[in-house]
Chains A and B, each alone.
Chain A
Amino acid sequence: MIDTLLRCVATLAVFLVLPLVIGQTEHKVMAHMQGRLGPMYAGGFHGWAQLVADGVKFAQKEDIVPAGADRKVFQLAPAVSLLPYLVVLLAIPVGPGGFVGQAIDAGIFFVLAVMGIGVLGSLMAGWASANKFSLLGGLRTAAQLMSYELPMLLAAASVAMAAGTVSLPGIVDAFHWWWIPWQALGAFVFFTAGLAELQRPPFDMPVADSEIIFGAYTEYTGLRFAFFLLSEYAGILVVSALTTVLFLGGWHGPMPDSLGWLWTLLKTFALAFVVIWLRVTYPRLREDQLMRFAWTGLIPLALIQLALTGIVKVAIS
């Protein structure tokens, strides 16, 4: 009982800290890559306290609900969008020997299922704002989710097939180094589709600021808006950690197993860096390009990976 409680509190702590670290990294990495000066003064060295200042600013702002909005749904939406990531984080293994919030038998399934709920938050926000831009953003979110969920599931299924289990710690246990070339296609598909589900650039059509202001989140202010932002960073954490666990071998690395958690963390942050890097590098995809990329690019690739996994699996068994 105490043990379970402790694990939950630890997960909550990770959930509250790491997304903020990723957010801070994003500020600074973007500033360096694009040569933006940006806020460099808050707190002294490199403007390290800017994130704190942002948090204070969000907390001070008035919480406004538009007059024509559906109050309850509008207010509930940020929670629906944020909480699934917290629940997912509970199931991601960090190190060997039960170093996981809660070992779940059907881990992959659980994680992908719960992540899908988060999008309901964007849909609710988009509809309840009583704003055409928000509604458009919500619609784009839904279309994007439905297109990219399939390749993501197929890529995850390929790893489950390779490992012969759907439990996340079981998959990391079964990992060998030659899985990386074997599952490379799947890793690419999973990571890209994950990026699209988070609506991160270059897949940020649903929040395209030059067309629809900020999509489903246009009408939000203050803490509720901050929750949406936080859920985006938590999403980066979850997708990076899942890619690490499924495709990059999680805690495996050239050091004793007791330091396995360090490898998981390192790989996760390397991937989070790639997410930020992609944001700075690529322009936004148009809606039709986005759909074509999912249906004619990622899904065939995921199917090829599935076939490849099956052939190799039969050949070595």
Chain B
Amino acid sequence: MTGTLLAATGSLAPATRSFLSPSGAEIVFLLVGIAVLAAAVVSVTTRQLVHAALWLVVALGGLAVEFLLLTAEFIAWAQVLIYLGSVVVLVLFGLMLTRAPIGRSPDADSGNRWAALAVALAAAGTLVTLVVDAFRSGWIELAPGAGSTRATGEYLFRHWVLPFEALSVLLLAALVGAIVLSRTGKGRVPGPRAGRLRAGKPVGRPTPTAQER
């Protein structure tokens, strides 16, 4: 299996390349990476809630560009579709529904910032150590088309079917959990509102309460 993986992505040859003469794509990769990092830092340090969400858009969009530069086209579009188009929209929706004042929101400040910083640094340290240790000075030649939809689909559904299916079970569990949480809220069926021509089906549990009896 590793054989096919390597055949598609190029050899993991030891460092025959110098890091001192980068190509144009590598320079762009680095610059976009810096921009992503900066946007991410601003996103967690800004004191304006909605701005944080918008900086998240920049950071996630930059990540999509990084995927593109690594020839992983399909992953890049998936990133745009899921994270920019859905997750950030959901975040903004949630913010607008609750409270998102224009300007600073001091009451949204959390006292846990140092703990959060420590956890973030520890997580980043672990990941960086892991990746550096795994690849050392290995060099993967990026063949164009190695991350195309066809290649990604083949990996996903030939070699990695089990994790893929396990993930879908996880999503299903989350879905069921959301339904359970939203159903056991009040246990009271709201009556039809004024101006409503056709009442929808009741969402809550149909247990009659004392008031209705």
Which residues of A approach B to under 8 Å, CB–CB? 68-70, 73, 104-106, 109-110, 112-114, 116-117, 119-120, 123-124, 126-128, 130, 135, 138-139, 142-143, 145-146, 149, 166, 288, 292
The residue in chain B whose Cβ has the minimal distance to the Cβ of A69 is: B102
Contact B77 A120 (CB under 8 A): no
The 23 listed contacts between A and B (C-beta, < 8 Å) are A70-B102, A104-B73, A105-B73, A105-B149, A109-B149, A113-B77, A113-B80, A113-B81, A116-B84, A116-B89, A117-B84, A119-B89, A120-B57, A120-B88, A123-B96, A124-B54, A126-B96, A130-B102, A135-B96, A139-B96, A143-B93, A146-B86, A292-B200
**For B189, what are the chain A residues with a Cβ–Cβ distance below 8 Å?**
none
Contact A142 B96 (CB under 8 A): yes
**For B92, what are the chain A residues with a Cβ–Cβ distance below 8 Å?**
120, 123, 127, 142
**Interface size class for chain B?**
20 to 34
State the CA gap A123–B85 with chains docked (Å).
Answer: 12
**For B80, what are the chain A residues with a Cβ–Cβ distance below 8 Å?**
113-114, 116-117
A68 with B102: in contact, given A73-B50, A142-B89, A142-B96 (CB under 8 Å)?
Answer: yes
Which residues of B approach A to under 8 Å, CB–CB? 48, 50-51, 54, 57, 73-74, 77-78, 80-81, 84-86, 88-90, 92-93, 96-97, 100, 102-103, 145, 148-149, 196, 200
Contact A116 B90 (CB under 8 A): no
Chain A interface main SS type: helix
Contact A109 B74 (CB under 8 A): yes
**For A288, what are the chain B residues with a Cβ–Cβ distance below 8 Å?**
196, 200
**For A105, what are the chain B residues with a Cβ–Cβ distance below 8 Å?**
73-74, 145, 148-149
State the CA gap A183–B78 with chains docked (Å).
Answer: 25
State the CA gap A293–B130 with chains docked (Å).
Answer: 49
A174 to chain B, nearest CB (A): 15
State the CA gap A135–B98 with chains docked (Å).
Answer: 12
Contact A117 B85 (CB under 8 A): yes
Contact B97 A109 (CB under 8 A): no
